[in-house]
Amino acid sequence: MSTELITKLREMTGAGIGDCNKALKETNSDIEKACQWLREKGMASAVKRAGKAAKQGAVYSYIHGNGTLGVLVEVNCETDFVAKTDDFQNLAKEVAMQIAAMTPLYVSRESVPADVLEAEKTVYKAQLKEEGKPEKVWDKIIEGKIEKFYSTICLYDQVYIKDVSGKQTIKDLVNEKIGKIGENIVVKRFARFKLGEE
């Protein structure tokens, strides 16, 4: 396996040399497929780590531009050692920048209050009725609209602003780090402040 290809994959994914080498072997040196293979591997690691308590971590602050926009985000991991690593700190920074740029309201879809979801569904039903869509297709259409709603207001469901493919979500990004670091990582909470906003 060429060192140049391994290095390129490592830069693209942040995965270890051994994992990059294995991914390229598994995918016949196809770098895009190798990225996907590593992502899936990271997700598998994330599932294994999900039950582990994440009570350490950091509160990261990000101030944008000339001080008119700021974000505070709490990102948790399992150990104080990992919380101090560059990988973890970089993840916290990327998450804070995402929050600054994309204005999510909740961390995950599980944290969206039931009344907010119901209000949204009520609006969609009224729109579908107004458009004259048959009632039998409402549920399917509403399901699609709710997915879109989640991808707008939930941090984990948002597409990562630096992902050129437009497919990687913040949840994917966190799962990649879990796979690389080997500890459970959770975005616990955040606050976004914009000057003059109510």
Q: Report d(CA 146, CA 148) in Å as an integer.
A: 5
Fold type of domain 56-108+154-194: Tetrahydropterin Synthase; Chain A (3.30.479)
Token pair 């709603």 is found at 149
Taking only the tens place, the pLDDT of each residue in 111-169 is 999 999 999 999 999 998 888 888 888 889 999 999 999 999 999 999 999 998 888 99
Give burial (CB, 10 Å; 0-12/13-18/19+) of 71.
buried
Q: Which pLDDT score is estimated for 49?
A: 56
Reported confidence tier of residue 44, pLDDT bands at 50, 70, 90: very low
Of 153, 151, 173, whose CA–CA distance to 162 is shortest? 173
Token pair 């693209």 is found at 12
Taking only the tens place, the pLDDT of each residue in 9-43 is 766 666 666 777 888 888 888 888 887 777 776 65
Reported confidence tier of residue 104, pLDDT bands at 50, 70, 90: very high
* Residue 74, both tokens: 């709490």
Domain extents for the chain? Answer: 3-49, 56-108+154-194, 113-151
Q: Report d(CA 44, CA 156) in Å as an integer.
A: 17
Taking only the tens place, the pLDDT of each residue in 76-87 is 998 889 999 999
Q: Which has more pLDDT, 47 or 7?
A: 7
Q: For 93-127, b where at least 16 C-beta lie within 10 A, e where not — what string?
A: bbbbbbbbebebebbbbeebeeeeeeebbeebbee
Reported confidence tier of residue 51, pLDDT bands at 50, 70, 90: low
Instruction: Assess whether pLDDT exceeds 80 at residue 7.
Output: no
Q: Which pLDDT score is estimated for 1?
A: 61
Reported confidence tier of residue 100, pLDDT bands at 50, 70, 90: very high
pTM of the full structure: 0.72
Q: Is 178 within 8 Å of 163 (Cβ atoms)?
A: no
- From the options 1.10.8.10, 3.40.1710.10, 2.60.40.1080, 3.90.230.10, give the CATH code of 3-49: 1.10.8.10
